[in-house]
Amino acid sequence: MKRKYEWLEAEWSRMREQSLDRTWQTVEPIAEAGGAWIRVCGKKLLNLSANNYLGLAHEERIVEAGEKAARKWGAGGTASRLVLGNYPLYDELERRLAEWKQREGALVFANGYQANTGVIAALAGRGDVVFSDRLNHASIVDGIILSRAEHVRYRHNDLEHLEFLLQKHQGARRKWIVTDSVFSMDGDKAPLLALAELRERYGALLMVDEAHAGGVRGEQGQGLCHELGMADQVDVLMGTFSKAFGVYGAYVCADQPVIRHLRSKARSLIYSTALPPAVIGSTLAALTQIETDTWRRQALRQNASWFRQKLRASGFAVADEDTQIIPLAIGENERALQFSQKLLERGIAAVAIRPPTVPDGTARIRFTVMATHTPDELAWAVQELAAIRDELDGREAL
């Protein structure tokens, strides 16, 4: 039996040598801390790696809404939505999402990965070309592969390169430009206004993944496209409930012809059991919170700006951005793991991000701040970071 898996053992050894093996630790949330603190192996840690940006995951009204929905509709989904699994809750959520995003319709998916793979594979095919930013999320890449369209990657946020490629493929049946609005590992933003101009100039279609901007950008948290006033120039707006919403699932908003097509063609929607009613109930409550709790967005922006300033003042090189995702470049995989372990020992949860999630040689610590962090907590984190740097590098700034 051992010889049967020799190839897996060899691959595992290679991954360990390159510090690319992965494990996980069991996390216990501390609800009263609004997600800002967790316990791992009994140790209390400041949580600087969560996507719970607004601190809504433990909001009592959201938890209670999920419990109420479960009591009324049951604990789990009973079928796919096309096979008698479509409770009234789903219709209500999609109606509200469409109103929130100011589009004709919306569709709810099980998660962001299924939304991107299902939507792209349903809307693009042989004879089409999909232009994808080189740093787009893996779910976008996999969706393009599944679609069988030609996959053309342009250099990150490089508009000249994208335009060159659009000119090169002018004869394609359809041209899709797909991008994240806020990039999950770098925390920078896509040049959405310029992408909309290229869409118009070359007769392309545009899809924007607002996973890390939904809930935190825009007047009511609709996302970066709405903040910039160009959402009506986007053909498909995608977002998730697992980040700022603090729940689970994903959605797309678009005009009715697109929604109608996806309902009948998106395989990840058709062949998946509907989300449990408790999830939909909590998501509806979270949407209300997002629309009304402007203080959470303000607190998040202030915390992100303050944390970046403190890092710079301590000699760390961080990008001049305004998002809640703040990567600290390390470089080598093993060094990033050492840094993350030192943080853990000092009471901070901040995970090392390594290839293939990021390009080779760009391993990093990815910090994410939350609306529920306090200035004292963030200041303490910067002090600990500086101490670890001095310990590992002899006061050489990263």
One-character DSSP codes across 41-98: TTEEEEE-S-S-TTS-TT-HHHHHHHHHHHHHH-SS--SBTTTT---HHHHHHHHHHH
Which residue would you say has higher pLDDT here, 24 or 180? 180
pLDDT for the residue 1:
55
Query: What is the pTM assigned to this prediction?
Result: 0.93
338's tokens: 């050492």
Among 137, 189, 212, 373, the one annotated catalytic? 212
- Whether 252 shows a pLDDT value over 80: the answer reads yes
Tokens of 35: 């997600």
Query: How far is Cα 21 from Cα 3, in angstroms, rounded to an integer?
Result: 21
Given a cut of 90, is residue 34 above it in pLDDT?
no
Annotated catalytic, 243?
A: yes
> Could you read off the pLDDT of 73-122 as tens digits, one per residue?
998 877 899 998 898 999 999 999 999 999 999 999 999 999 999 999 99
Selection from 239, 186, 383, 375 nearest residue 299 by Cα: 375
Determine the pLDDT at residue 42.
85
Bigger pLDDT: 232 vs 398: 232
User: Has residue 2 got a pLDDT over 80?
Assistant: no
Confidence at residue 249, expressed as pLDDT on a 0 to 100 scale: 97
Residues above pLDDT 70, as percent of the chain: 98
Q: Which of 19-28, 46-55, 146-155, 324-333 has the lowest mean pLDDT?
A: 19-28
Mean pLDDT, residues 307-312 taken together: 95
Catalytic-labelled residue, pool 139, 147, 181, 184: 184
**Quick one: pLDDT band at residue 395, thresholds 50, 70, 90?**
very low
User: How much is the pLDDT for 30?
Assistant: 81
What is residue 194's predicted lDDT score, i.e. its pLDDT? 98
Positive or negative torsion for Cα 148, 180, 80, 102: negative
181 is catalytic: no
Q: What is the pLDDT of residues 158-175, one digit of tens each?
A: 999 999 999 999 999 999
The reported pLDDT for the residue numbered 398 is 47
Residue position matching structure tokens 């290679």: 14
* Higher pLDDT, residue 163 or 353: 163
pLDDT digits (tens, 9 = 90+) for 198-211: 999 999 999 999 99
The domains found in the chain, sorted by start residue, are 17-53+293-391 (3.90.1150.10), 59-290 (3.40.640.10)
Phi, psi dihedrals of residue 65, rounded to the nearest 5°:
-65, -40
pLDDT for the residue 394: 56
Task: State the average pLDDT over residues 291-308.
Answer: 96
Quick one: pLDDT band at residue 26, thresholds 50, 70, 90? confident
**What's the rounded Cα separation, in Å, for the pair 108 and 111?**
9
Q: What phi-psi label fits residue 292: left (phi over 0), alpha (psi between -120 and 50 degrees) or beta? A: alpha
Query: Where in 155-232 does DSSP place strands (E)?
Result: 175-180, 205-209
Average pLDDT, the chain: 93
pLDDT tens digits for range 127-169: 999 999 999 999 999 999 999 999 999 999 999 999 999 999 9
Averaged over 232-253, what is the pLDDT?
Answer: 98
Cα 141 to the chain's mean position, in Å?
14
> Does the active-site annotation cover 184?
yes
Q: What is the mean pLDDT of residues 312-335?
A: 92
DSSP 204-223: -EEEEE-TTTTTTSSTTS--
